[in-house]
């Protein structure tokens, strides 16, 4: 992990923090937003969306990826994620295991950047490989 000074990370973190209020979290009150950068420069915003039938909810990261893939995107460079209780990003909010696996489907683990942002503008930078070592991906199937 390193403290990021990557301009992509700063801009994506700003976009994610700006989208935090759009999360739908009436049960946990834990709001999450993600800003995903596609290879062509398009940024896709995702938010967590809860459901009274808890397993039917979806994470912000997967929302962003699914929107992008539905738009025809298949290659991604980076994602910024922020989240916290009552929509206050007071600590870093790493992606869950399922979201990491979705990232692995579309991203080079050694190259894809994951920026974790806090409200104070602090950003930590990781690669997918750091957060999902010894991963299983498309190259293992077929």
Per DSSP (E only), the strands in the chain are 2-3, 30-38, 43-47, 76-85, 113-117, 123-127
- Closest by CA to 128, choosing from 87, 105, 100, 106, is 100
Q: How many residues does the chain have?
A: 142
From the candidates 7, 39, 61, 130, which is the catalytic residue?
A: 61
Our answer to whether residue 122 is catalytic in this structure is: no
47 labelled ligand-binding: no
In this structure, the dihedral spanned by the alpha carbons of residues 29, 36, 63 and 118, taken in order and rounded to 10 degrees, is -10
107 labelled ligand-binding: no
Rounded (to 5) percent helix, strand, coil in the chain: 35, 25, 40
19 labelled ligand-binding: no
CB 48 within 8 A of CB 24: yes
82 labelled ligand-binding: no
92 labelled ligand-binding: no
48 labelled ligand-binding: yes
81 labelled ligand-binding: no
Q: Where are the alpha helices (DSSP H) in 51-132?
A: 60-70, 97-106, 128-131
126 labelled ligand-binding: no
- Cite the annotated binding site for substrate by residue number: 48-54
Catalytic residue list: 61
- Which residues line the annotated binding site for Zn(2+)? 59, 96, 99
Annotated binding site: 48-54, 59, 96, 99
């Amino acid at each position: 992990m390193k403290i990021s000074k990557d301009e992509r990370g700063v801009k994506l973190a700003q976009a994610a923090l700006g989208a935090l209020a759009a999360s739908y979290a009436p049960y946990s009150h834990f709001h999450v937003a993600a800003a995903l950068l596609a290879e062509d420069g398009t940024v896709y915003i995702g938010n967590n969306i809860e459901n009274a039938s808890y397993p039917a909810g979806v994470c912000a990261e997967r929302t962003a990826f699914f929107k992008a893939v539905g738009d025809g995107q298949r290659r991604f460079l980076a994602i910024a994620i922020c989240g916290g209780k009552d929509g206050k990003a007071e600590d870093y909010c790493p992606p869950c295991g399922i979201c990491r696996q979705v990232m692995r489907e579309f991203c080079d683990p050694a190259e894809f950047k994951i920026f974790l942002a806090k409200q104070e503008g602090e950003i930590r930078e990781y690669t997918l490989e750091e957060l999902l070592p010894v991963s299983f991906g498309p190259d293992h199937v077929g």
